[in-house]
A and B are shown apart, each in its own frame.
Chain A
Amino acid sequence: MTRLNASLVGALALAFAASLLAGRVWIDPFHSDVPGAGLILMQLRLPRSVLAVLVGGGLGAAGAAMQAYLRNPLADPGLFGIAPSAALGAVLSILLGAYGFALGPWALPVFALVGAGGAMALLGLIAGRSSGGVALFTLAGMMIASLTGALMSLAISLSPSPFALWEIVTWLMGALADRSWHEVWMAAPLMAVGLSAFLVAGRSLDALTLGEAAARSLGVDPRRLQALLILGVGCAVGGSVAVAGVIGFVGLVVPHLLRPFTDRRPSSLIVPSALGGALLLLVGDSMCRILPLAGGELRLGIALSLLGAPFFLVLLWRMRDGVWR
């Protein structure tokens, strides 16, 4: 394990322990006199923290892989249109529920995964036809994102009641509040598949550092790489949207912060980005819980966007001087 990964694992372990104790009710591990402390820990905080690690890890690794694949430090997992498609699926399930269709508690994550799967299939179809050009493929992803964005607005405008509208909007903000072990069991295998796909793609992503032509000459099969990326981003991002809503910027910010601490080879950045994403989401979620806010807690999605957008601006500012890699 590299020193970077070891430090991140250490920080993650500390943050994980702290996240179990922190919240509206603080739990003292040595003299707990909080009634139901065990229940709070096992049924509320532990699944929430595990989910933060899973979602953050998936988003961080997906960001690192996307930046490597598109050879662009400004790429974000949202670019493939998979996150918006998953969100569209979730919004549809809320809308159908509001129109009186009796859908079970599993409807929302399942709809979201179907949305992500649909976007993946569409991308796969386009990728299968093209000779693997990254630009065309990215444009397709952005068009899917734009289309699903429009459909989502349409769905929102069709919401039958203010309550449904409120539900959709809050869900879109992204959060880890009130999640249970069900979401953990749903997200864990998807994140595992996603991370594995990125690790398998690592060497091909390294070769892509030198451009598409050089990568092909090094034996990279562009279609296989594209398929791995669709699978990985679909599982990691689709899975995270399904359980936590739209959480932006993790995939953009984390690889950036960590790249200078690696040898800048894309494959060296995937595991640190997963760990860093997990750390960022865990700390962010704990802060959201602790910060006093009228009418409940700060939504994680909002908090991270508040953090992420200024970061992006600083990045653009630095790009001006050509020191962005």
Chain B
Amino acid sequence: MMLCARNLTLAGRLDDVSLDLSPGRVTAICGPNGAGKSSLVSAMAGVLPVAGALSLDGHDLPAMQPRERARLLGYLPQGGEAAWDVCVRTLIELGRLPWQAAPLHRAHADGAQDREAVTQAIAAMDLDHLIDRPLSRLSGGERARALLARVLAGRPRWVLADEPLASLDLGHGLRLLTALRQQAVQGVGVCLVLHDLGMAMNHADRVVVMDRGRVVTDGAPGDALSEDVIAQVWGVTGRWLGPEGARALSL
């Protein structure tokens, strides 16, 4: 399912952005603060109304029923707030909401498919031992995994995540990326906003660099995140060290 954006524009945030994203790959969106990364991802998720065209496999996204769109596109917003201190299982079950038909249907995962999807999401994020724990008693890494499991429980064809690695340490960040890679291997489209250029360089299949609402470069990590681009967009002089797949940016 190709996710295509054409001429997305939103005053002050997005300036004529066009992108074609292929499923089965991990695409990273990078850029300095205020570059329009979050706006782009939330626009593609159908959460932020923008001018321009969005389509999924040729189907017009804004014209879709919200619930139909929600079944195809999973969106993980930045921050991951939760108003109520629900337990991990309850949180993950929320991901099944788009699949539950009748308005009075209880949100409990009582259908066999719901149960299976929730169990799989719990296993994929390694949360088996935490399912009854309230969110307030999770560490940052556990919380990030639980929030992503909520998205995966919806079994979306696309996962759009806004800084899923924010506030995670190296090990937890890497594990989360590995889990997302696993999704891509299974044919899901994965599109992430990443601040850590090293993570993007080593773990993405494709990198889109944005600045001031526009796409600056778009391509393989090595090309899109070249030292010249980093100098131009972030205004810092850096050098990539180490072999391919394990590169580190030295500033």
Q: Which residues of A contact B (CB under 8 A)?
A: 68, 71-72, 131, 199-200, 202-203, 206-211, 213-214, 216-221, 259, 263-267, 325
Contacts and interface: CB of A to CB of B under 8 A. Distances in A.
Given A210-B82, A221-B66, 17 more contacts: A200-B104, A206-B94, A209-B84, A210-B80, A210-B91, A210-B94, A216-B46, A217-B73, A218-B70, A218-B98, A218-B154, A219-B66, A219-B68, A264-B84, A265-B90, A325-B84, A325-B85
B172 interface: no
A297 B82 CA distance: 44
| Size band of the interface chain B makes with A | 35 or more
Contacts of B76: 214
B47 A263 contact: no
A209 B87 contact: no
14 contacts: A71-B83, A202-B103, A206-B97, A209-B86, A211-B81, A217-B47, A217-B70, A218-B154, A219-B67, A219-B68, A219-B69, A219-B98, A264-B86, A325-B136
A217 B73 CA distance: 8
Contact of B105 (A203, A207, A208): A203
Contact of A213 (B77, B97, B103): B77
A-B interface, 7 closest residue pairs, ranked by CB to CB distance from nearest: A219-B70, A217-B75, A71-B83, A219-B67, A219-B66, A325-B85, A213-B77
A263 B86 contact: yes
B45 interface: yes
A263 B71 CA distance: 24
A203 B103 contact: yes
Interface of B: 42, 45-49, 65-71, 73-77, 79-87, 90-91, 94-95, 97-98, 100, 103-107, 134, 136, 150, 154
Contacts of B136: 325
Contacts of B82: 209-210
Contacts of B97: 203, 206-207, 218-219
A315 B100 CA distance: 35
A220 B66 contact: yes
Given A214-B77, A219-B98, A131 B49 contact: yes
Contacts of B103: 199-200, 202-203
A264 B107 contact: no
Contacts, number: 98
A202 B105 CA distance: 9
Given A203-B100, A265-B107, A217 B45 contact: yes
B75 A213 contact: yes
A26 to B, nearest CB: 42
A206 B90 CA distance: 10
Contacts of A265: 84, 86, 90, 107
Contacts of B65: 219
A255 B42 CA distance: 33
Nearest to B78: A213
Given A217-B46, A217-B74, A206 B107 contact: yes
Contacts of B69: 219
A151 B158 CA distance: 53
Contacts of B86: 209, 263-265
A218 B42 CA distance: 13
B150 A210 contact: yes
B46 A209 contact: no
A160 to B, nearest CB: 48
Nearest to A220: B66
A68 B42 CA distance: 23
A114 B136 CA distance: 44
Nearest to B147: A210
A208 B81 CA distance: 10
B163 to A, nearest CB: 13
A306 B91 CA distance: 37
Contacts of B95: 218
A207 B70 CA distance: 12
A259 B86 CA distance: 10
A219 B74 CA distance: 10
A325 B137 CA distance: 13
A138 to B, nearest CB: 14
